[in-house]
Amino acid sequence: MELSLLLIFWYGVLHAFGPDHLTAIADFSIGKNKSKTLLITVLFAIGHGLSLFVFAKVLEAFPLSHHILEWGDLISATVIIGMGVYLLYMVATDRIHLNKHMHEGKEHVHIWFGKSHKHEDAVVESSSFTMGLLMGAGGVRGMLITLGAVGSGHVDLSMVSAFTAGVMLIFVSFGFVILYINEHLLDSLQNVRRVFATAGVISLIVGTDILLG
C-alpha cells in the first residue's frame, strides 16, 4: 500500500504542473506578502483535494457519464477566463493601486484593487479555497481513473491525502516563485500593472485553450 500511495503522491506532483492550476494560483497570489501567498497556495491545494474526494464518493454512489463529467472542464476554463477578464478590467480602469511606507525601518508595499485601500484577507483566502474546489472539477475524470486504477476502483481518504500532498508540494513551491516576483518586481505602479496585465492575458489564453482542447 505504501508504494501505491507513493505513486499517487507523484501523480499529484505531475498533476499540479497543469497550466490551469498554476495560472489560478498566480492570479490570487500576485501582490501578496509571504504569509498570505503561502496560505493561498495551501488552501488551494486543500480545496483541490477535497473536491476530488467529494467527486470520488459521488461517482461511487451515482455513476455519471463522461459527457456530464466534461462539464468540469468547462467550469475550470470559465473560472480562469473570468479571472483574466477581471484582472485586465482592473488594469484598464486604473483600479490597481500601490502604496509604500516604512514600518520598523523596513519598507512595506501594499497593493489593492478598487477606489479605496481595504484589507480583504479573509475574502481572498476563502476565494482561493473555493477556487481550489472549482478547479478540482476540471480534469476530474483523469484523476479518478488514475486513483481508481491504483485502488482497484476504490478511492479512499488516504489516497486523496497522498494526492493532495503531491499537489501541495508544487503549489507551495510555485508560491515562492510568485513571492519572488512580488518582492523584486512589484516595486512601482507601472510594474504592478504590467504584471497583472500579463497574468490576465495568460489566464485568457489558458482558459480558452481548455475550452478548445
pLDDT of res. 149: 55
Give Cβ neighbours of residue 184 (< 8 Å, ≥ 6 apart).
none
The long-range contacts involving 109-118, CB below 8 angstroms and separated by at least 24 positions, are 109/186, 109/187, 111/31, 111/186, 111/192
pLDDT of res. 169: 92
Under 8 Å between Cβ of 136 and 6: no
pLDDT of res. 198: 93
pLDDT of res. 127: 73
Closest CA to 162 of 176, 175, 178, 143: 143
pLDDT averaged per 10 residues in sequence order, the chain, 213 residues = 78 82 84 83 85 72 63 78 90 80 61 60 67 67 58 69 87 90 83 90 90 78
Give the cell for residue 199.
497574468
